[in-house]
Structure 1
């Protein structure tokens, strides 16, 4: 039986968005963020499309998400940045998944996992520069970078990255942006003083990738922009294109509809259909939530890749 509903995901749009973001990033590489099942679009097919379009890195929130990419055969450098206490890390270390460090105890747990695995772990140290949502605080930063340098000298880990995250980059000109950039430069200086030489420094989210070249460093980390949605609704000329329930009732007034006619909830807007941003404004939320709330029971169908891809689930 055919599905009663489907989410049509345009992988061609995803590739276009990564190409646009690569152009915006100029000399920096692009990390394609595929957390939350690829923002509700399907993590594995989206990750493949992003890599095909030139994404040099992939990013996930959780270790298990990164491991799913490895099990799917995707070997692109991948960062998982949320490591709760007690997370099993052996397979991640063995799979060369880069791990985010936001605390001293987190660093110690990763070092212990590396010792048990018999190979160094790859880590990115996260500096809290003002968001206050994860990251090593300024008062603890010196201790963590010095401990990381000792662990690196002991062969337990390799500090491959140093990163942070903006709080209000979607409000261009907000004074917190400059303050956070200054704090990040200070954090980088202390890391260098401790003897660390990371491969990549990264701070730019979608908004900063689109509007703040000074924040690009070695790598940009756009999330929602990879799916064609902008975190700054009034920002024009981005070149991004949206890549996108089960059952409910709609009052269509005096309009006519026949059984079997398609009903589009949101899309690119080219045909007059609502966009995810339209829904977000109507519901007093953000477009991120709209695309992420299309649940797993709605099968995905992928177009715009090398032929059509079935839903991998």
Structure 2
């Protein structure tokens, strides 16, 4: 039996109608991309992992490339193949894969691969030798995070092995890459150390006979605050959608999240609200119910302190955020069901921003924008 047809979740409408809607402003993405293109000393890679930071993969790819980005970055090969499926010819890099990843398919679709260890390199070489493809690789150095990348004391051996594989015709070493642990703290000594480790690693690669053309270390924060880390390429993900982890630069937010009021009720003082009655009214008031909750990306741990904008007024969340719904306190001025509540947006009209929600939840804006659930209607404008 065929499943019933459903309306696509992404449309070109600019209004949310009577359902929760995430409006995606591609003009903001374009403006942010152009800013980084102007500021970078080298090329710009648009990092479109996690469905373009929750903004839609295809739209982000198209907009970033049209605005001056020349590379695209993802974590997994699966994400990289989704990028290739958009029909773009730009270089695409995938940098987080297990040793048994489908290297052959990646090579067939011209996906560059990060190589963080001897085991990964051996797997890439084996797949290349078997398939006849020559893999394009970026050798990945741990520059101070103890996370992804080869440890500095393993680096020289990896360079030697990579050079042998290149001579044998199995790989081409396109780049050397690293990542900074504290780039959101401009001027932190760890950033200077990370750059020094990176440049030393490039030197070791060259001593082994490798000639990587693309050295890349800086992501959004370092691109904005540490120009000496730019090297040949910068990787911009959060910055494309208006997030600066260093909070040193005002970028244009690309999201506006709205939800309709579905019910309004008048309650007396001493009314307990929601699970556990964590909030009890201290006066008679009007309550509005919104049909969104933590399944849609509203963090439950933001319940204390969060507010939304209804009819131009700040209305605090009352009680804990539930899976599918949240109650807000309207005070003495009720509104009609169907009235739009702005959960977050750029902040231009006094609404909360993703930075506000991150603060209330004790997290970072990245988690807020990538956490918006798939049942929320997307509207591209």
Indicate the TM-score class for this superposition, using the shorter chain for normalisation: over 0.9
Structure whose alpha-carbon radius of gyration is higher: 2
Structure-to-structure mapping, 1:249-268, within 5 angstroms: 249=326, 250-268=328-346
Cα distance in 2 for partners of 1:196, 1:3 equals: 59
From 125, 136, 140, the counterpart of 1:111: 125
Q: Which of 6, 25, 29 in structure 2 is aligned with 1:14?
A: 29
- Residue of structure 1 equivalent to 2:239: 225
Kindly indicate whether structure 1 or structure 2 has the higher relative contact order, using CA contacts under 8 Å at least 6 residues apart.
1
CA-atom RMSD, angstroms?
1.4
User: CA separation in 2, counterparts of 1:300 and 1:121?
Assistant: 37
Equivalent residue in structure 2 for 1:241, among 244, 252, 257: 252
1:48 shift after superposition: 0.9
Q: TM-score, normalised by structure 1?
A: 0.92
User: Structure 1: 5+ residue runs without aligned partners?
Assistant: 304-313
**After superposition, where does 1:1-313 map in structure 2 within 5 Å?**
4-25=19-40, 27-233=41-247, 235=248, 238-244=249-255, 245=292, 247-249=324-326, 250-303=328-381
Q: Distance in 1 between matches of 2:163 and 2:136?
A: 13
Query: In structure 2, what is the Cα distance between the partners aligned to 1:160 and 1:46?
Result: 25
In the TM superposition, what whole-angstrom CA distance separates every residue of 1:57-107 from its partner, at most 9, and x where no partner exists?
A: 011011100001112212211110001121122111111100011111101
* Greater fraction of residues in strand: 2
Bigger shift: residues 240-249 or 205-214: 240-249
In 1, are the aligned partners of 2:104 and 2:133 still within 8 Å (CA)? no
CA deviations on 1:175-194 (whole Å, 9 max, x unpaired) are 11111111111101000111
Q: How far apart in 2 are the matches of 1:123 and 1:255? A: 61
Structure 1 window deviating more from structure 2 (3-12 vs 186-195): it is 3-12
More helix by share: 1
Alpha-carbon shift at residue 29 of structure 1 (Å): 0.5
3-state SS in 2 of match to 1:265: strand
CA–CA distance in structure 1, aligned partners of residues 39 and 333 of structure 2 = 44
Looking at structure 2, the residues matched to 45 and 3 of structure 1 have their Cα atoms a distance apart, in angstroms, of: 24
Aligned residues: 299
Q: Report what 1:307 is aligned to.
A: none
